[in-house]
Chain A
Amino acid sequence: MINSSSDNVKKLNSINRRMFITGSLKFFIMVGIVSRLFFLQVKENKKYLTLSDKNRIREWKLAPVRGEFHDYFGNIIAGNFEAYQLHVIPEQVEDFRYVIYRLKDLLELSDKEFKKVLKKKNEIKPWETLIVSDNLSWQKFSKINNHLYDLNGVKPVISISRNYPFKENFTHLIGYVSQANQDDIETTQAIKKNFVPGLKVGKAGLEKTFEEKLIGTNDIERYEVNAYGRRISQLEFQKGQKGKTLRLTIDTEVQKLANELLKDKAGSICVMDIYTGAVIAMHSSPSFDPNLFVFGISQDDWQLIRNDPMKPLVNKTLQGNYSPGSTIKPIVALSALENGIVNTNFRVKCTGKTEMYGQTYHCWKKKGHGYMSLRNAMKQSCDTYFYEVARRLGVDKLSETAKKFGLGKKVFGDLFNIEKKGLIPNTQWKKNALGKGWLLGETIITGIGQGYIQTTPIQLCLMTAQIANGGYKIYPHLVVDDKVKDQPIDKFTPLYKNSKNIKIIQDAIFGSTNEMMGTSYRSRIDNPIYQFAGKTGTAQVKKITEEERELDLKTFEIPYEQRDHALYVAFGPYKNPRYALSVIVEHGGNGSTTAAPMATKLFKLIIDRHKIRESLENKKYLEI
């Protein structure tokens, strides 16, 4: 008993000693855990709170609403419309197969489209939105709405999308929008900043140029999400800003007429205010419907546009390099007058052809014009006269004058990256570019706008405008912008040496249209309100052989690609000029028969519209 009790005591001593050690250890460990808790929850609280918010809050950007294009009178020429779309969230659909086949029937989807939708479905998470259709007709949209009762999880949605109400009328000018690609994102900061999947950005024309202004800013939605990225609740909605609306100088009525006149033809028409430089119309034909591109163009449509021999994708107004033909003659004559090479009394005898430097140069009139003075030569567009003048003038002096009047350089500067410069040749240029010396024969054909010389329709329009306004520099522009309006005409930059010379040229052009024997006499308007002055041009696309010259074929007898381009430049009303225009019809044959009659129709409208334009301006001032 004593033994066992002393053993017990020993055992108890041992266990109590160890309990004490254990207890102390427990205490320290407890303190450790509490300090760790303190460290995490009190000291580092801010850091972990931020991390927790980062976990749970996610931002969604919505596509910004694009700014519009208005014409001068406030008509929307590129606007936004409400596109009817159909969204499905696969996760919310009980029987996805049933619903999607039902939709296929209702929407009459082709197998190809249907496969596309299924493929998209496999690429997204089940709670993400599947866009089954992005632009439904109202009929189909309402049909779906009627069947919604058995289409669980299908959401009809109205979304904002680009719309071009005038279809092909403004395509080359405004351009079009389409889904942004990698290249767009990388090159344009604004696109990168506002990018959301499916964002539509400008691909051509002014839509592309003014992307930064038009794009606007995103709506931002902040959502609380769970660990799998599913939205739980909306925390915030930040409204974005609509892109800037741009008002253009264009008059839709004139633009529409230009489109009508060039229907089924390849060519370009541009109209410009000769004092302000405001472009009233600018059309390239054939055109295409830009709405086709908004939701992605179908392969068939694309091939149709791409393979059209009349090249609808080319903006002929800016990209078309044409020989100016006789439309250059006012500049040749002006240059000769300015440089004192000729005066109004200088005469040349035209016999239908002339021989210079061992080569025969033909006038368009086989029988010849007889003795020609400057005014008569311009009126009847006598080639022989201008051969002689060009020979005396020399190409270098001619090119100097031509460049002054806006030929050989971009009219809109950086506005369109596709714009061509054209070409005004001189001896220096040929040596540099071709490494050959200038031949005198080349000067002679340059005098009638053939050979190396190339101009774009907008350059010809600018040239005519600057002759019409008395020889002052103007700055062509498309967007109504106060900065440009403040200096409508640059009175300090006369392009002439002697203003009398400009008057002589204006008068000669007047004769060309309004006097018997003038090349565009048949297109004249006698009513002084509409009376205009213009110069025809016929640009050869190939050298005419002697046999062909003998045959003297009518235009319709020549194959299309070999027919001459028809050109016409004009300004009016003659008494008090305000507008200049240039018309080019590719392979249109003769300037006086094809291009000049268009100008007649145009001027009637332009001058009628001018009153409305003026009253709008006055009204505007009155309102202020």
Chain B
Amino acid sequence: MYQHTRLTTNRLGFFQKFRNFDYILLICILILGFISLATMYSTDGGEIRFHTKSHFTKLAVFTLMMLVMSFVNIKYWFSIGYLAYVAVIGLLVGTYLFGITSSGSQRWINLYFINLQPSELMKIFIIVCLAKFFHRMKIENVNSIYAILTSLIIILLPMGLVIVQPDLGTAVLIAISGIAVLWFAGINYKYFIYTILGFIISLPFVIAFLKPYQKLRVLTFLNPDKDPLGAGYQIIQSKIAVGSGGIFGKGFLKGTQSYLEFLPEKHTDFIFTLFSEEFGFVGSAILLVIYAIIIYRIVAIGASSRSYFAKIFCYSFGAAIFVFITINMSMVLGLLPIVGSPLPIMSYGGSSMLATMIGFGIVMSARVHNQQLIA
């Protein structure tokens, strides 16, 4: 019986794989994609212009890519874990050496057919890599010095490469992705508690070493009204936009704050502000529910997976996506200092969407091949 099941799951036909799809997750992703397109259309001033077109192309290509990825056996994603990590590290080094500089930081690398931001990919591949690292490890060895040190190096290496770009925000997000894996792998609670305590204690020293613009962001977060036209401008205008949206919003294409260009970075980091201004509390809540369903499905897929790798990847990816969403929203709602962090799928930006879609692809693959055991 057991043998039989194993055989059948190993040789899934195309239609069986198709039937195994998580359609709820897929539909939610498509709805989200549609919402993001509509919002992008609004940022373009109610016309189909550059951002809308570009966003649509990326959405279409990457969704297709995600679907293709889900047909690939989860075993394969497991096997390329280290390789992918090393490849992205290579890209990060490449970025450091020949990257494209834009607005003061060197984040992009020209791959001839696409300008890629490898740090965004690292947010996902660090999870793949660490999930593979802990997959076969015995529970007793998880808290060994070897395991902890190795995983720390795996996290700190890309972080360092991203910090020098400089892009502290993404570096922190990469760390969070990595730490999520460590958490699910079963690293002792006390290490997390120590880390948090250590972080809080060293915070004043860290702030002292921050770059002036980063320090300004922290100070601005604490008191945005101090310099309303300068550093505090983004936070204040974002809050005005969200707050003036009210319960039902100002209506699609009627967000005055964004139309009249009071909103900064409305295509990327502040996309939620625009959405929230036009669709109000109700629209925002619906968006949050869609995100919640997506995260719930990711976690559920993890829970139903037989392989530990799939499980730990799904849980960690779910947690990471959750953190990305939370940080972005807290930022535009004035709950956190401004750090450059896009809202998954919604924000304009190819690398971020590519990374998210790769994540969804692996999750979907885990779902399709949920009976697959990885030796």
- Is the Cβ of B315 less than 8 Å from the Cβ of A22? yes
Q: Does B20 contact A (CB under 8 A)?
A: no
Distance of A549 Cα from B257 Cα, bound (Å): 90
Instruction: Give Cα distance in the complex from A14 to B284, angstroms.
Output: 35
Closest to A27 in B: B292
B184 nearest CB across to chain A (Å): 5
Contacts of B244 in A (CB 8 A): 45, 48-49, 51-52
Known: A23-B299, A26-B295. Contact between A33 and B311, CB under 8 A? no
Q: Which residues of B contact A49 (CB under 8 A)?
A: 243-244, 246
Given contacts A26-B295, A33-B330, A226-B260, contact A14 B139 (CB under 8 A): yes
- Is B359 engaged at the interface, CB distance under 8 Å to the other chain? no
Q: Which residues B35-91 have CB closer than 8 A to chain A?
A: none
Encode B182-223 as 1/0 by CB contact (under 8 A) with A.
011110000000000000000000000000000000000000
**B260, closest chain A residue (CB):** A226
Q: What chain B residues lie within 8 Å of A42 (beta carbons)?
A: 246-247, 281
Whether B288 contacts A30 by the Cβ 8 Å rule is: yes
- Residues in A with CB closer than 8 Å to B245 are 41, 45
Q: Which of A3-11, A183-191, A438-446, A459-467 contacts B (4 or more CB under 8 A)?
A: A3-11
Residue picked from B240, B261, B333, most chain A C-beta under 10 Å: B240
C-alpha gap A22/B139 in the complex (Å) = 20
Look across to chain A and name the residue whose beta carbon is closest to the beta carbon of B180: A22
Chain A residues within 8 Å of B326, by CB: 29, 33
B261 touches A51 (CB 8 A): no
Q: Which of B240, B260, B292 contacts A232 (CB 8 A)?
A: B260
Interface flag for A37 (CB, 8 Å): yes
A517 within 8 Å of B by Cβ? no
**Assembled-state Cα–Cα distance A36/B185 (Å):** 33
Contact check, B239 vs A48: say whether CB atoms are below 8 A apart: yes
Interface residues on B, range: 35 or more
Q: Does A228 lie within 8 Å of B242, measured CB to CB?
A: no
Instruction: Name the residue among B241, B260, B299 with the largest chain A CB count within 10 angstroms.
Output: B260
A237 sits at the interface (CB 8 A): no
Q: Which of A7, A16, A29, A40 contacts B243 (CB 8 A)?
A: A40
Q: CB-CB < 8 A to A224: which residues of B?
A: 256, 260
Interface residues of A in 182-222 (CB under 8 A from B): none
Specify which chain A residues have a CB less than 8 angstroms from the CB of B240 in the assembled complex: 48, 51-52, 55
Within 8 A of B (CB), among A21-68: 22-23, 26, 29-30, 32-34, 36-38, 40-42, 44-45, 47-49, 51-52, 55-56
Let me know if A19 and B315 touch, CB within 8 A.
yes
Does B281 contact A41, Cβ atoms closer than 8 Å? yes
A14 touches B186 (CB 8 A): yes
Complex interface residues of chain B between 248 and 290 (CB less than 8 A to chain A): 256-257, 259-262, 276, 280-281, 284-285, 288
Whether A55 pairs with B247 at a CB distance below 8 angstroms is no
How far is the CB of B233 from the nearest CB of chain A, in Å?
9
Distance (whole angstroms) from the CB of B276 to the closest CB of chain A: 7
Counting chain B CB atoms within 10 Å of each CB, the highest count among A10, A22, A228 belongs to A22
Chain A neighbourhood of B295, CB < 8 A: 26
- Would you call B276 and A41 a contact (CB within 8 A)? yes
Assess whether B319 is interfacial by the CB under 8 Å rule: yes
Chain A positions 302 through 339: 1 when the CB is less than 8 Å from some CB of chain B, otherwise 0: 00000000000000000000000000000000000000
User: Which residue of chain B is the closest to A33 with respect to CB atoms?
Assistant: B329
CB pair A228–B261 under 8 Å, yes or no, is yes
Option from A37, A51, A52, A232 in Cβ contact (under 8 Å) with B333: A37
State the Cβ distance, A555 to closest chain B Cβ, in Å: 74
Please, which residues of chain B bring their CB within 8 A of the CB of A38?
Answer: 281
Q: How far is the CA of A228 from the CA of B261 in the complex (A)?
A: 8
A41 to B334, CA, bound (A): 13
**B247: A residues at CB distance < 8 A:** 41-42, 45
- Enumerate chain A residues within 8 angstroms of B246, measured Cβ to Cβ: 41-42, 45, 49
A1 on the B face (CB < 8 A): no
The verdict on A37 contacting B186 (CB below 8 Å), with A8-B308, A48-B239, A56-B256 known, is no
The answer to whether A227 and B242 touch across the interface, beta carbons within 8 angstroms, is no
Interface pair A36/B261, CB less than 8 Å apart:
no
Set A11, A33, A48: member contacting B308, Cβ < 8 A: A11
**Are the C-beta atoms of B281 and A37 separated by less than 8 Å?**
yes
Q: Does A436 contact B (CB under 8 A)?
A: no
Query: CA A101 – CA B246 in complex, angstroms?
Result: 52
Say whether A52 contacts B312, CB under 8 Å: no
Q: How far is the CA of A45 from the CA of B240 in the complex (A)?
A: 9
CB of A124 closer than 8 Å to a CB of B: no
Is residue A99 within 8 Å, beta carbon to beta carbon, of the partner chain? no
B-chain residues with CB within 8 Å of residue A48 when the two chains form the complex: 239-244
> Known interface pairs A15-B312, A36-B333, A48-B243. Does A41 touch B257 (Cβ–Cβ under 8 Å)?
no
- Chain B hits for A47, CB < 8 A: 243
Bound-state Cα–Cα, A575 to B308, Å = 129
Residues from chain B with a CB closer than 8 A to the CB of A23 are: 299
Are A41 and B242 in contact, with the CB atoms below 8 A?
yes
Closest A residue, CB atoms, query B236: A51
| A415 contacts the other chain (CB 8 A) | no
Q: Bound complex: CA of A565 vs CA of B292, how far in Å?
A: 101
Chain B CB within 8 A of A430 CB: no
B322 close to chain A: CB less than 8 A: yes
Say yes or no: A33 contacts B288, CB within 8 Å.
yes
Query: For A36, what are the chain B residues with a Cβ–Cβ distance below 8 Å?
Result: 330, 333, 335
Q: What residue of chain B has the Cβ atom nearest to residue A11's Cβ?
A: B139
Query: How many angstroms from the CA of A29 to the CA of B288 in the assembled complex?
Result: 12
Q: Is A225 an interface residue (CB 8 A)?
A: yes
Query: Which chain B residues numbered 321 to 341 have a C-beta less than 8 Å away from chain A?
Result: 322, 326, 329-330, 333, 335
CB within 8 A of B239: which of A22, A29, A40? A40
A18 within 8 A of B: yes
Residue of chain B at shortest CB distance from A44: B243
Q: Is B138 an interface residue (CB 8 A)?
A: yes
Contacts of A33 in B (CB 8 A): 288, 326, 329-330, 333, 335
The residues of A that contact B156 with a CB separation of less than 8 Å are: none
Complex CA gap A45/B239 in Å reads 10
A8 closest partner in B (C-beta): B308
CB distance from B213 to the nearest CB of A (A): 21
B243 touches A227 (CB 8 A): no
Asked if A15 and B315 make an inter-chain contact with CB atoms under 8 angstroms apart, the answer reads: yes
Nearest-neighbour CB distance to chain A for B327, whole angstroms, equals 10
**B303 within 8 A of partner (CB):** yes
A11-B281 contact given A40-B242, A225-B260, CB 8 Å threshold: no
Contacts of A29 in B (CB 8 A): 322, 326
A349 to B213, CA, bound (A): 104
Tell me, in angstroms, the Cα distance from A36 to B326 when the chains sit together: 12
How would residues 169 to 187 of chain B score, 1 for a CB under 8 Å from any chain A CB and 0 otherwise?
0000000000000011110
- CA–CA, A326 and B334, complex, Å: 88
A7 touches which of B139, B262, B284, B330 (Cβ 8 Å) = B139
Q: Which residues of B contact A26 (CB under 8 A)?
A: 295, 319, 322
Which chain A residues numbered 453 to 500 have a C-beta less than 8 Å away from chain B? none
A52/B242 in contact, CB under 8 A: no
How far does the alpha carbon of A349 sit from the alpha carbon of B359 in the complex, in Å? 131
Which 8 A-B pairs rank lowest in CB-CB distance, beginning with the nearest?
A48-B243, A52-B244, A226-B260, A41-B281, A14-B186, A227-B261, A48-B244, A40-B243
Q: List 26 A-B contacts (CB under 8 A).
A: A10-B139, A11-B308, A15-B184, A15-B315, A18-B183, A22-B315, A22-B319, A33-B330, A34-B285, A34-B288, A36-B330, A37-B285, A40-B239, A44-B243, A48-B239, A48-B240, A48-B241, A48-B242, A49-B244, A51-B243, A52-B243, A55-B260, A56-B257, A224-B256, A224-B260, A226-B259
B interface with A by C-beta (< 8 Å): 138-139, 183-186, 237, 239-247, 256-257, 259-262, 276, 280-281, 284-285, 288, 292, 295, 299, 302-303, 308, 311-312, 315, 319, 322, 326, 329-330, 333, 335
Q: A14-B139, A15-B185 are in contact. List 20 more A-B contacts (CB 8 A).
A: A15-B186, A15-B312, A18-B183, A22-B319, A23-B299, A32-B335, A33-B326, A37-B285, A37-B333, A40-B242, A41-B247, A45-B243, A48-B240, A49-B243, A49-B244, A51-B243, A52-B244, A55-B260, A224-B256, A226-B261
